[in-house]
Chain A
């Protein structure tokens, strides 16, 4: 049957996709060197209860390799990511923290990625404007040091181990637009009016028919 062929083909394709992921499944977060990178993230607006606006506000990120880092020769690339604080993970299993790096979903938003220059020993910084697809939530910043095989070897984060300090809140854009609202109303009105026009018209035609 065609279905059997289709199933078999999809099985083949999927097992190929499967095997390409196989190599990364076993690497654990706890194996990474903690605190190898010292990183701070300063929002452009600070204060009690300040909520940053996505698409508008910036983070000023400063990082440097810690003097205690042992795996420093392996560093090839630094990947900086925006991560969810525990409070933004509640009742949201798609943001769960997992030890297996492959499965971990707590740091989905890429901030920046650049090659590591071992000759520069001082702190470097750059600005990052919060992207417009960042959801509402509470965040911190984490940087992974990645080796030549594209495997993470060390990390550093802007908050403490329990992820309770130096967190900042972001408010997402609403995604709504006035033009969209207007278009929506127009089409809705058109739909209802068109229906009524047909209906009334037909009733009138029927009445004319009957009176003939």
Chain B
């Protein structure tokens, strides 16, 4: 079933599992491997001694969030908690800015620029992470990020001016690439039928870190002050907490985790045929597909706005409503914590609308969610009383986070061949949008923060109009139905168009065809009456959440 490529694909082509709808297992395992940390199970023994039911590739077919069983659920928990820890570190400075700005004599521009820097590093590290995981496995990918960025978190104790502050926040931001390693890990551990839910939970719960940090850091700071430290020292000590968390998680990942269901990368022998695509081809088809850019921008104004808010909202409440530091932190935290249910909700809404209206339903759902997020953002900026501000912020958080979930309900259908890269690019778009909005609205004294919020909401709504431009010939778009052309209106045509004739002759596009068949559900209720769709249940549910 796996195809052998003459050009052993370059590193990083597989982007395996960045959204994980891949059917093909990147590494085939044959095995008498009996390493100390692998299972003593033969490949051809399907009733392997796993705690969860597994498929033929030993990927779990059930998801039990309260279990820590080896290796699947353990990988899930290690993965999402690592990602969660990195979110804590990246946004740890935000709730402490009122103290830091006094210690380092920062101006509004300094603070804004540091905020931009904190999200920019991950644009690149997220793109590179797929390659790293291919090379080293998810365990070391995660552990490298955690343990090599821990020193950057500790180095906050050395910072004495705006430049130092900016550099440290920039370096800490690289660890947000744990998103990719987390999704990669769950994708090799869980079957495609449930991977949507698994990745959605991993992504949403990881994102919660941005909320938890708003609560955690002021609390830690307060405790350290009570123990006798002056404020300007206490905040530096407070940064040791995220640093410790990272080191501890890194060690846990290395000792408790396992790269693949059957063992670790280095103890397993990589035999068998590996199907890796050529990176240049994957890149080419991603770049040629205009929807890549639309998604890049759309995600920039959902996840991007979310990350910007993580950076500015605590300071905003502190300054505008004269609150205590930990009160502002509590309010800011509820923004990020809404991720726990809001993201899965968005994905779920996308799936439900697809059931009735197909892909057009997904697009409308996305537009509605993201636009309402924008409207509530404008309202938040206009709010002059605390209760209204909190109310609008909560509605805003649900709108924008659900939109993130909804976008990843659409991403898997944009391309089959370049899926991993497009998902990575969409994710990078989030960071880009965050950097951009912070730069424009929160880095200069041109606007008050309140106006910045409203203008950001308006900009978000304008860019959300781009959803109307996503058109699938086989399913239509927001305002147009599917094309009437007989050939082009077939899903197979869309997905097979990513392969050249030569490749088609080699049968390399088989996976895409299978996917096309399964994706017929995106026609909505018409798929049932179509008669031509097979009865195999399509892979619904939400794939990767960034």
Binding site for B on A (CB under 8 A): 3, 7, 10-11, 14-15, 17-18, 90-94, 102-103, 105, 132-133, 135-137, 172-177, 180-181, 183-185, 187-192, 194-195, 198-199, 202-203, 205-206, 209-210
> Can you list, as one digit per residue, whether each of B114-155 has a CB less than 8 Å from chain A (1) or not (0)?
000000000000000000000000001001100110110011
* Residue pair B386, A17 in contact (C-beta under 8 Å): yes
How far apart sit A194 and B253, CA to CA, in the bound complex (Å)?
Answer: 12
B235 CB contacts on chain A under 8 angstroms: 175
In the complex, besides A191-B250, A195-B143, A205-B36, 10 extra interface pairs with C-beta distance below 8 angstroms are A91-B107, A91-B109, A92-B108, A93-B108, A94-B98, A174-B232, A175-B232, A188-B150, A194-B250, A195-B144
A-B contact pairs, 15 of them (CB 8 A): A14-B386, A17-B386, A94-B315, A133-B102, A135-B101, A135-B102, A175-B231, A176-B158, A176-B160, A184-B154, A187-B151, A192-B147, A203-B266, A205-B35, A209-B267
Q: Which residue of B lies closest to A197 (CB)?
A: B254
Whole-angstrom distance between the Cβ of B319 and the nearest chain A Cβ: 5
User: Which of B52-60, B69-77, B236-244 lies on the face that meets chain A?
Assistant: B236-244
Shortest distance between the CB of B33 and any CB in chain A (Å): 8
Please state if A187 and B385 are interface contacts (CB–CB under 8 Å): no
Tell whether A175 pairs with B230 under 8 Å between CB atoms, given A7-B394, A18-B386, A133-B102.
yes
A14 to B391, CA, bound (A): 10
Q: Give 8 closest A-B pairs by Cβ, nearest first.
A: A175-B232, A188-B151, A135-B102, A206-B266, A14-B387, A91-B107, A184-B154, A195-B147
Point out the residue from A137, A180, A184 that lies within 8 Å of B105, measured CB to CB: A137
The answer to whether A92 and B267 have CB atoms under 8 Å apart is no
- State A28–B189 Cα separation when bound (angstroms): 64
B450 to chain A, nearest CB (A): 10
**CB within 8 A of A176: which of B107, B236, B267?**
B236
Question: Chain B's interface: helix, strand, loop or mixed, by majority?
Answer: helix
Determine the distance from Cα of A7 to Cα of B396 in the docked complex, in whole angstroms. Answer: 13
Pairwise interchain contact A133-B251, C-beta atoms closer than 8 A: no
* Residue B532 lies at the interface, judged by CB distance under 8 Å to chain A: no
CA of A37 to CA of B327, assembled, Å: 36
* Cβ of B182 to closest chain A Cβ, rounded Å: 18
Q: How far is the CB of B270 from chain A (nearest CB, A)?
A: 11
Q: A92-B107, A92-B108 are in contact. Are A195 and B148 (CB under 8 A)?
A: yes
**Closest chain A CB from B376 CB (angstroms):** 13
CA distance A206 to B108 in the complex (A): 53
A175: which of B108, B148, B233, B266 is its contact (CB, 8 Å)?
Answer: B233
Bound Cα distance A38, B269 (Å): 85
Interface status of B49 (Cβ within 8 A of chain A): no
Specify which of B232, B237, B244 is in contact with A172 (CB 8 Å cutoff): B232
